[in-house]
Each structure stands twice: as C-alpha cells, then as structure tokens.
C-alpha cells in the first residue's frame, strides 16, 4: 500500500488500510485491495474480491427474480432494456453480464448488483416520464455498481467490527448470509426492508458518474437535475428504499448536477448517437 502520506485527509483511509491489512494477515482467504473509482479516481478499500462480489450479485439477482414479480408489461421491459443496453455500452465493463428487468411494484426503487444485474421497479417509472429520466435512475445505479460502493460499505462494516472477532463479518459467513450482505450493500434487499443507506459521498459520486454515463449513452444530461426535483415531490412515505434513504437533499444534488452539466454536455455532444429525452414512458 503506497499511500502512507502526511496528507491528513487520507489518514482515516490509511488507518483503515493498516487495520484491515493486520486482519488479513491472520485470515486466510480474506481479500484486501486498494483501487481507484472510475472517473472520479477516488481511492477506496475493498474487502471482497470483485470476482466474488459478482458471483454473489448474480446469485442474489436470481433470488430477487424468484421472489418478486417481473412485470408483464412488455413495453416497460422493452424501454428499460433499451436504455440499459445503451448505458452498458458506455460503462466500460465488458466483463459484466448485463441483465435488465422490471419488477411490478409500487416501490420507487431501482438497483444494480455487482456484475451488471439491474432491476427497475414500476413505481419509479411515472417519475422518470421518459427514457432520459429513466437513464438518470439507471445510470445512477450502474454507477454505484461500477464504483463498487456496496463493496466499500462491506469493507467499512468489517473495519468497524474489528473488536468483535469480526474477521468473518463478510468472508466467513454462510453463502446465504453473504448473498444477503451483498444485496443489502447494493440496495436490493427491498423485500426484507433492510436497506443500508449509501453515504452522502457515495450518492453524490453516483450522481457524478451517472450523469456522465447517460450523456455518453446519448441521453440529454440536462434531464438529471429535473428528475431529482420531480422525485422530491413524489416520495413515498415509509419504504426504506435506496432512493428514499439518500442523504444529500434533492435540492443539493440537483445543484451539484447542474455544476457538472457543462462537462456532461461535452460527452453528449461527442456521443455517437443522440436520443435527446427519448421516448415517453406510457402511464
Ligand atoms: Zn444511490
């Protein structure tokens, strides 16, 4: 680990890095890696290997599709797959086995599990209004996955539990529990009601990466701030979903997105095909 520096901003990550390295030395099979987030280049620490995370993501996705009803609305499936494929084409993850499904539920939620397994709930479609609004949601979720935010949360949980013989926190649990941890970490455990909110830092980073992705995919990124403004007016009451548990206020994330628009517009201008706002989503 090369980032032992005097930079005070980095100190917490160095301490965590050392602590987890100590743990790793006593735990066979415990993977520890330091890497950078794509596009923002922020350094992060990860306790589970990406390969393992992707396996867990696939398995968790199959569970979700078994326990929640995939919509029979073919138009919804078609639009979500079309937008998803366009985002996937610019996500620079040829190793992901992309899959997109729409789940019939009033819940205003969406998620992307490691490995590119995406679900959108019908409840959020009216807020999206059109393909560009849907691209805001889906590229935000894809951003959480390619930035491995869930993996980072698993790492922090492990570090927090250092004093509690928690070497096994992630790695020594039974397969079923590991899968549950991955689902919780990536916001996909809706039916259990145990969503762990992403941090404000992760949310803003997913917005940042997401708006660049949607622009590269050919959707007008100026749709992004408007989506969050509409969303803030339509929130459901109690459901602890990924989209409802976000820390940054919607006004704050809308203004942060507006600051990113000039850069996003450059990506949009140089995208091979432009779809603007795309097709309207039938209500
Ligand atoms: Zn999010």
- pLDDT tens digits for 148-177? 998 888 777 766 665 444 445 555 667 777
- Non-local (6+) Cβ contacts of 125 within 8 A are 76, 134, 281
Q: Is 203 a catalytic residue?
A: no
Task: Report the 10 Å Cβ neighbour count for 172.
Answer: 13
CA of 198 relative to ligand 1 center, distance in Å: 6
Sorted by sequence, the CB contacts under 8 Å of residue 243 that are 6+ apart come out as 108, 109, 110, 124, 137, 231
pLDDT above 80: residue 244:
no
According to DSSP, the residues that pair with 219 across neighbouring strands are: 276
pLDDT tops 50 at residue 54? yes
Using N-to-C axis directions, what is the helix angle for 131-146 and 149-160, rounded to 10°? 40
Active-site pick, 53, 55, 131, 141: 141
Between the CA of 164 and the centroid of ligand 1 the distance, in Å, is 29
65 CA from centroid of ligand 1 (Å): 21
pLDDT band at 7 (very low <50, low <70, confident <90, very high): very low
The residues placing their C-beta within 5 Å of ligand 1, an ion, are 198, 206
pLDDT tens-place string over residues 88-145: 999 999 999 999 999 999 888 899 999 999 999 999 999 999 999 999 999 999 999 9
- pLDDT at residue 177 in the model: 75
């Amino acid at each position: 680990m090369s980032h032992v520096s005097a930079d005070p901003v980095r100190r917490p990550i160095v301490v965590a890095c050392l602590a987890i390295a100590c743990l790793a030395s006593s735990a066979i099979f415990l993977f520890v890696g330091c890497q950078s987030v794509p596009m923002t280049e922020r350094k992060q620490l990860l306790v589970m290997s990406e390969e393992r995370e992707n396996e867990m993501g696939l398995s968790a996705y199959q569970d979700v599709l078994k326990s929640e009803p995939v919509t029979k609305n073919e138009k919804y499936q078609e639009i979500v797959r079309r937008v998803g494929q366009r985002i996937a084409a610019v996500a620079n993850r040829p190793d992901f086995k992309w899959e997109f499904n729409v789940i019939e539920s009033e819940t205003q939620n969406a998620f992307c599990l490691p490995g590119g397994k995406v679900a959108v709930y019908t409840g959020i479609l009216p807020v999206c209004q059109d393909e560009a609004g849907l691209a805001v949601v889906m590229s935000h979720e894809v951003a959480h996955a390619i930035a491995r935010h869930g993996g980072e949360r698993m790492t922090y949980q492990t570090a927090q539990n250092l004093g509690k013989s928690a070497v096994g926190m992630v790695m020594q649990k039974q397969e079923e529990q590991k899968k549950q941890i991955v689902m919780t970490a990536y916001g996909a455990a809706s039916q259990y009601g145990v969503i762990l909110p992403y941090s404000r830092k992760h949310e803003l980073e997913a917005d940042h990466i997401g708006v660049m992705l949607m622009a590269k995919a050919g959707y007008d990124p100026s749709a992004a701030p408007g989506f969050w403004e509409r969303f803030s007016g339509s929130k459901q009451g109690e459901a602890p979903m990924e989209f409802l548990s976000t820390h940054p206020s919607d006004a704050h994330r809308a203004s942060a997105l507006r600051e990113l628009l000039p850069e996003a517009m450059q990506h949009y201008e140089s995208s091979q095909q432009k779809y603007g706002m795309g097709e309207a989503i039938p209500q």
